[in-house]
Amino acid sequence: MGLMSEYIARRMSAKDLEEELLGLIKQYNDYRGTNLLVMASAVGKPIPDIVLTQEDFYMIADMLSNPSDVSKVDIYLETPGGSGEAAEEIVEFIREKYDYVSFVVSGEAKSAGTIMVLSGDDILMTKTGSLGPIDAQVRIGRSTISAFDYMEWVKDKHQEADKQGRLNPFDATMVAQISPGELKGVNHSLLFAEDLVGKWLQKYKFKHWKITETRKASVTDTMKAKRAKEIAQELTNHSKWRSHGRSIKIEDLEEIGLRITEVDKDEQLRTIVYKIQTVCRLLFNSTHTYKIFATDKEKIFKSATPVLEAPRIPQKAQVPEVVEAEVKCTQCGKGIKIYAKLSNNPAIDQDFQRRGFVQLPRDNKVRCDCGFEIDLGGLRNEIELKTGLKVVD
């Protein structure tokens, strides 16, 4: 039986899963003699904030602000990418605080996530882990796109115009909307990612590289700089990887000259890391959580709570005693009728429960029959904001 099936069979609540995650982080720390920070996003959830942002830097700076007796930190990272500038701030903060930094990748750490990983003294990956081509994500009009893909499109249109003497009307209209300043900014974003990776590889990853593998010769700073630049250029070469979303595995990274520590070769470490990955996936799949920040001592979960039907607040002169609403489970689609009391009247409970309503719980969490946990914190806030009253639990 796989890990996912084992956890599902245990029918753990969200609270149980959260406690399990903190316990696994402690096991990891005891085994590795380090501090583990889990920084995971629900890759694939249609929520803009799943990407790496400046807010993530503030979260991490706060969580790691207290002094620590341990000089090493491991970061379990799962992200679709995001802001290169945020990645830089996170890395610089962590580097000031810890002497030795390792990154653990068992899911996806793409784009800006890859940039962060390449700042590590060590990179630990499972067979399921993957990095991606590096470049910046830039805002063009209403869309966020790869800087490399954008510059490639502009270059293709330039070559097409030189060859044919003109562009088709659609492309001509698109190109006419691009300013020289915009082009320069996109190009700088692309170079920023490449320069950052080259600098970090030489400064951190390669500081432990003393002897060449084949000739057993001493490694010079010039050799380190050359290798770092070559790897950075390989990872920004989208014509090699074909897609910004391409998954780059252990063998791909070692082929371009990057040494990776394979987690699967250590049975105890393998078990802990895969369990951490599985618990994070279950939290993302069974709740509205989309970002997890956790150490063995504290956790911050970010959630997005859709309320598909606005709460029905009686439009009367007198103060309302109760508010009703309906939410839908995003996993199975079932509607759940909710009531929230604004006065301590026992008759309200009898009436609404007889009609199949569920009272808004004190912890704002309702579990659907399918097992999915719905966070109703947003509903409580909306009711209290619109009525000016506190919900009675």
Q: Crossing angle for the helix pair 180-203 and 84-97, nearest 10 degrees?
A: 30
Residue 240: count other Cβ atoms within 10 Å of its Cβ.
14
Q: Which of 391, 389, 392 is CA-nearest to residue 318?
A: 389
List the chain pLDDT tens, one digit each, 393 residues.
Answer: 688 888 888 888 888 999 999 999 999 999 999 999 999 999 988 888 899 999 999 999 999 988 778 889 999 999 998 888 899 999 999 999 999 999 999 999 998 999 999 999 999 999 999 998 886 666 666 566 666 677 777 777 778 777 887 777 766 666 666 666 665 556 666 677 788 888 999 999 888 888 877 777 787 888 888 888 888 888 877 666 555 557 899 999 999 889 999 999 999 999 999 999 999 999 998 888 999 999 998 999 988 766 556 666 665 545 678 998 888 887 777 889 999 998 888 889 989 998 999 999 988 888 888 878 888 887 888 888 788 888 988
H/E/C letters for each residue in the chain? CCHHHHHHHCCCCHHHHHHHHHHHHHHHHHHHCCEEEEEEECCCCCCHHHCECHHHHHHHHHHCCCCCCCCEEEEEEEECCECHHHHHHHHHHHHHHCCEEEEEECCEECCHHHHHHCCCCEEEECCCCEECCCCCEEEECCEEEEHHHHHHHHHHHHHHHHHHCCCCHHHHHHHHCCCHHHHHHHHHHHHHHHHHHHHHHHHCHHHHCCECCCCCCECCHHHHHHHHHHHHHHHCCHHHHCCCCCCECHHHHHHCCCCCEEHHHCHHHHHHHHHHHHHHHHHHHHCCEEEEEECCCCEEEEECCCCCCCCECCCCCCCCCEEEEEEECCCCCCEEEEEEECCCCHHHHHHHHHCCCEECCCCCEEECCCCCEEECHHHHHHHHHHHCCCCEC
pLDDT score, position 55 = 94
- Given 3.40.1350, 3.40.50, 1.10.10, 3.90.226, which CATH number is that of 3-132+247-303? 3.90.226
Q: Which residues are paired to 392 by β-bridges? A: 341
**Residue range(s) of every CATH 3.90.226 domain in the chain:** 3-132+247-303
- pLDDT value of residue 317: 46
Supply the pLDDT for residue 309: 61
